[in-house]
Amino acid sequence: MIDPKNTLPDPILLIKKMAAELSKEIDSNTCLIGIPKGGHLIINELKGMLSSSTLDYGLIDTSFYRDDLEISGLKVKEMTTDVMFNIHDKKVILIDDVFYTGRTSRAAINELFDFGRPREILLYVLIDRQSAQLPIKPNYSAFQVSPKKNNYINLEENNKSLTFRTKIINE
Amino acid sequence: MSKIQYSNDGNIKHLLTIEGLQEELIYKIFDLAESFLNVGNREIKNVPLLRGKTICNLFFENSTRTRTTFEIAAKRLSADVINLDIDSSSQSKGESIFDTVDNLISMGADIFVVRHPEPGMPELLAKHVGGNAHIINAGDGNHAHPTQGLLDTFTIKKYKNRFDNLSVAIIGDIKHSRVARSEIHALTTLGVPDIRLIGPTDLMPTDMSKINLKIFESMDDGLKNVDVIMMLRIQKERMIGAIIPEEGEYSEKYGLRKKHLLLAKKDAIVMHPGPMNRGIEIDSDVADGQQSVILSQVTFGIAIRMAVMSMLIGKNI
């Protein structure tokens, strides 16, 4: 199993790297949409790091757009989709903690189109596991790692500090 | 009865009755319904969760509202919906309900939403289909109407937040009401400490002695300080042989009027499963008044039915 302390960098450092990249990308037509729960935690940090005051922030919970209902079931999330602004013709930057198979990103992109027709969709993640099962790749990843398939990684908040949690899951 | 609702791995497979459903599962259905409510507020209200699935509405009794809400729920989940017109179907040519269901499964049906005058028919169908399809009971005789019980308690949760401090009065013909039966089981499972039944003695249930229910014959006594008033429709079609007062007399004694609301708590809510007999069991100024949540029940009903369908098809959480 990956030891998060030895292998994975401090999430805040990665979010700072992401913020630096984002600031080059953001224009007056950009919005950031996080994929819960990791993307939500990242956006909370980014709000303090990005100087733009006109940026719209949203959340997109992909539960109802996934392709694995009969395999993994339906997970009831604490956070549901919250896109309270018009995304038509916007540059949407999706934010997630970990990019793995690409299926969550696919579901998020599909869901976005139910809200309008964005001009452009970009995907920014903290970690790219480099194991995509679909022709989707993040436009930006702050860190790349190739753990075993059953090593699960996600971003969590513990005592108000962000950490990467890893665990072995049954395949 | 309830065991058949679950598969061997503990996932819910059919929804036949609320009796025996675990509290945790009811809350999961509520949480999921809450998410679907948000989807209902979007411009595009459909999600692709059940795309490719087929849902058959098998209604052997007339229903507009329930069938429509099931249909809308299924369509919002992107499922294909088939409404079988039983009068003109093979049933009228003598085919058994089991043959009808077998044929529809062969055509790829995944969920059957069944309303039938015979109590227990959805359970028989659930046993018959085994793991090949899912059954949702949309009302069987005077036995159960679980999605109505769920949407009613979900409505209470939305307005009152919790159950463990509530007084809930159910008024009308409890004996013949599958809605009341399902409501009582849901309220009991969710821990409502004070469930009151108000109506003529002849219309009180005789088979629920194990549940702590308070019976009142008078509205004035039963409505004191209640948080929730749940009215029932007079079910003329189920009252064959029952000793009931004449309609005018019934309405005089058990029709909900504005004056009754003064007996309940100031923030009490008024519910009715519909369709309403205005002027008989409920006055228009109450049905349309500020304390009425009747139309919210209809909206919430779609979200609850979306949640139930998704849970039956999906592996449980």
Is residue A60 domain-resident? yes
Residue type, B243: I
For B12-29, the pLDDT digits (tens) are 999 999 999 999 999 999
B52 reaches A (C-beta below 8 A): no
Residue B245 pLDDT: 65
CATH number at residue A131: 3.40.50.2020
% of chain B beyond a pLDDT of 90? 75
Segment 19-38 of chain B within 8 Å of chain A by CB: 28, 31-32, 34-36, 38
Average pLDDT across chain B, whole number: 91
Question: Is A130 in CB contact (< 8 Å) with chain B?
Answer: no
pLDDT, average across residues B228-246: 73
Q: Which of B39, B50, B317 sits opposite A76 (nearest CB)?
A: B317
* Predicted-complex ipTM score: 0.75
> What is the count of structural domains for chain B?
2
CATH code of the domain containing B63? 3.40.50.1370
Closest CA to A20 of A40, A39, A45: A45
Task: Give the single-character DSSP code of A124.
Answer: E
- Structural domain contains residue A171: no
Residues B256-282 pLDDT 10s: 999 999 999 999 999 999 999 999 999
Going by the DSSP 8-state scheme, the letter that residue B292 receives in this structure is B
CA distance A105 to chain B (A): 15
Which residue of A71, A74, A81 is in closest CB contact with B32? Answer: A74
Q: Which domain holds residue A148?
A: 4-166
For residue B171, is pLDDT > 80? yes
**A88 CB within 8 Å of a chain B CB:** no
Q: Give how far A85 is from chain B: nearest CA, Å.
A: 12
Q: In the structure, what pLDDT confidence band is assigned to residue B211 with cuts at 50, 70 and 90?
A: confident
Q: Is residue A123 part of a domain?
A: yes
| Predicted confidence (pLDDT) at residue B317 exceeds the cutoff of 50 | no
Query: In total, how many domains does chain A have?
Result: 1
Question: What is the residue range of B110's domain?
Answer: 2-144+298-313
Distance between A72 CA and the closest CA of chain B, angstroms:
6
B169 in the same domain as B130: no
Q: Which of A98, A104, A105 is nearest to A141 (CA)?
A: A98
Given a cut of 70, the residues of chain A with pLDDT beneath it are 1-6, 77-78, 171
Do both B136 and B161 map to the same domain?
no
Residue of A nearest to B52 (CA): A67
CA separation for the pair B95, B109 (Å, rounded)? 18
- Residue B73 is predicted with a pLDDT of 97
Asked whether A19 and A140 are in contact (CB, 8 A), the reply is: no
Same domain, B161 and B287: yes
| pLDDT higher than 60, residue B1 | no
DSSP B91: G
